[in-house]
Chains A and B, each alone.
Chain A
Amino acid sequence: MIPLFVAIPLGFAFLIPLVSKYKEGFARACAVAGGFFLVCVSVASVYWIKTGAMTYAVGGWKAPFGICMELDALSVLILLVINIIGFLALVYSAEYIKKRYTSPGLYYALFCLLLAGLNGVAISGDLFNMFVFLEITSIASYALVAFGTEAEELEASFKYMVLGSIASALILFAIGILLAKVSTLNMADIARQLMRQGPGNITVLYCAALFTMGFALKAGLVPFHTWLADAHPAAPAPVSAMLSGVVIKTLGIYQLVRVIFNIIGFSQAMSFIFVWLGIISMVVGVLLAIGQWDFKRLLAYHSISQIGYVVFGIGLGTPLGIIGGLFHLFNHSLFKSLLFLNAGAVEFATGTRRLEKVAGLSNEMPVTGVTSLIASLSIAGIPPLCGFWSKLIIIIAAFQVQHFFGAIVCLAVSMVTLASFLKVQKYAFARKAQNPVAGIKEVPLSMKVSMVSLAILCVGVGLFFPVIINTVIKPAADVLLAGREYINWVLGVK
């Protein structure tokens, strides 16, 4: 069952460009059906994996020698995020791509390739294999950012490619050094060899530093954030939703915590670095977001700030902190992709994303207005929506370990976020239009469907948050807390 996560989107990615030339609509039907199937499989896998891990040996070569794929609760959480957002973004794409871009066939092919790469990263149990999937994802997202081939999009894509390639190079370098040190690539086996050699090795620390730099570049944490605010707004709206909602988390946060917690081993020094990267990202991201008038650019800066919360929560290293961080990761993917889809809907209807140029849209576009209000309140942390609970958990966790400064920063950043989104609501949706533009219509059905489903998820997760935490988040946090127990799950040594 595990290889299906990669095989289905990868198969469609090859099939779609071949067939879509001759048959209109094939690409969309295929991609949406594939996306729906992936959502079903990932929801089912929540029930298969409670503790431990399922492994699959590619080609029948047993782990540590062959390439293995492994599915544990942390992978399941990431797979859920990837496939739910991916499916809804594909549903949204139908009308949006047809109206605004040429060659939808290639778009769907690249989107499937992106999904295949992301799913591959989430289930890979082999370090080099993970790198290959990371590069598949990166190449697909470089191409998707440049999909409009206008001047700005090409420029953003080039910048993204330069910094993305540096990140990949650093990661590959670190993999090379680890390979030279322990002569194996299986992640669990590397962890076992490193444990035998004991802690405090300078080479391993060097690798940890390279990995942290590489993955922080992919995640857009603050000293490494410059590409993010150009690349995310330039892409088509469903792709922006994927990039901000999923790609930075899978390529950045998931891989970082997997490598640091399960392979290299979490320590006080790592905790310090994570916490401060998180705090700086939170503050700088939100300060840069305040002055923005471009709707999507504002959202991109808020992504940096919210990713700061996730890293801060996980970096605290306590069970509650990790649960809060992972829960915020899950919630952020819901509300941030909803906001990007809203921004796409505004651009679709009015032709601009400058907030000062649009006005009073909640009369003409009630669905977009209401869903964006829900998403804005979620990201600002208003109870009982989903963003509130995860921020609350992170702040309580910070108080528990007596990190008062971090807790206060979390609260303050939350206030500024609220102010920033009230601006969005006031200018774009609430205020009366001075000279109303005729002909602004609500967006087509497919776009409404995916925005409404995401809004329902935001409210639902907020109301039933204990259920979500118990079934999905807590097992995932246990994987991180178990640390090098991971070796026994994958290699089956009792």
Chain B
Amino acid sequence: MSLYILCTVLFAVGLYCLLVKKNLVKKIIGLGIMEYAINLFFILTGYRTAAEAPILDRELAITNFVDPLPQALILTSIVIGLAVTALMVAIAVRLYEKYRTFDINEIRRLRG
């Protein structure tokens, strides 16, 4: 149980970083932390104590095995996270070229 709570704490750290930090790069790192917290949570839900890898074998009947579904989902989720992070970094670099800064207090032309 405490592991799940730690996951939520990690998620909150990422969310805090994403919302409060003023630097674009730090915001992107915050997003990364948030994604890792969720990935970790998924993997933990599939964990079983003293279990084996879920490989189908006709000789050995494995009764106690790790749930493979969350692992498969997380592979997809990591790829999606990569795409979002890559796009964000690309846009942050273009923003730097326009404004010559990563500070969001300076990047404020839109308001109202």
Taking the complex as formed, is A493 at the interface, i.e. its CB lies under 8 A from any CB of chain B?
Answer: no
On whether the beta carbons of B112 and A292 are closer than 8 Å, the reply is yes
B1-20 CB mask vs A (1 if < 8 Å, else 0) is 00000000001000100110
Number of A-B pairs, beta carbon distance below 8 Å: 89
Taking the complex as formed, is B29 at the interface, i.e. its CB lies under 8 A from any CB of chain A?
Answer: no
On whether the beta carbons of B45 and A139 are closer than 8 Å, the reply is no
Secondary structure call for the B interface: helix
Taking the complex as formed, is A155 at the interface, i.e. its CB lies under 8 A from any CB of chain B?
Answer: yes
On whether the beta carbons of A179 and B70 are closer than 8 Å, the reply is yes
On whether A139 and B87 interact (CB within 8 A), knowing A151-B109, A155-B110, the answer reads yes
On whether the beta carbons of A161 and B88 are closer than 8 Å, the reply is yes
Contacting residues, chain A, for B67 (C-beta < 8 A)? 183
For B110, give its contact among A165, A169, A230 (CB under 8 Å): A230
CB within 8 Å of A: which B58-97 residues: 67, 69-70, 73, 76-77, 80, 83-84, 87-88, 91-92, 94-95
On whether the beta carbons of A152 and B45 are closer than 8 Å, the reply is no
On whether A132 and B76 interact (CB within 8 A), knowing A142-B87, A179-B45, the answer reads yes
CB within 8 Å of B: which A3-22 residues: none
CA A168 to CA B38, docked complex, whole Å: 11
Secondary structure call for the A interface: helix
On whether the beta carbons of B98 and A151 are closer than 8 Å, the reply is yes
Q: Which of A138, A149, A154 has the most CB of B within 10 A?
A: A154
CA A162 to CA B80, docked complex, whole Å: 15
On whether the beta carbons of A149 and B94 are closer than 8 Å, the reply is yes
Write the chain B residue with the least CB distance to A180: B45
On whether A139 and B38 interact (CB within 8 A), knowing A128-B73, A158-B92, A179-B69, the answer reads no
For A154, give its contact among B19, B35, B77, B98 (CB under 8 Å): B98
- A interface, size bucket: 35 or more
Closest Cβ of chain A to B51, distance in Å, is: 15
Write the chain A residue with the least CB distance to B111: A230
Contacting residues, chain A, for B95 (C-beta < 8 A)? 151, 154-155, 158
B26-57 CB mask vs A (1 if < 8 Å, else 0) is 01000100110010011001000000000000
A17-58 CB mask vs B (1 if < 8 Å, else 0) is 000000000000000000000000000000000000000000
Taking the complex as formed, is A176 at the interface, i.e. its CB lies under 8 A from any CB of chain B?
Answer: yes
On whether the beta carbons of A173 and B84 are closer than 8 Å, the reply is no
On whether the beta carbons of A139 and B84 are closer than 8 Å, the reply is yes
Taking the complex as formed, is A416 at the interface, i.e. its CB lies under 8 A from any CB of chain B?
Answer: no
On whether A176 and B88 interact (CB within 8 A), knowing A155-B110, A297-B112, the answer reads no
Contacting residues, chain A, for B70 (C-beta < 8 A)? 176, 179
On whether A172 and B77 interact (CB within 8 A), knowing A161-B88, A165-B84, the answer reads yes
CA A158 to CA B95, docked complex, whole Å: 9
Having A151-B95, A179-B42, one finds 5 other A-B pairs with CB under 8 Å, namely A139-B80, A151-B99, A155-B109, A180-B45, A230-B110
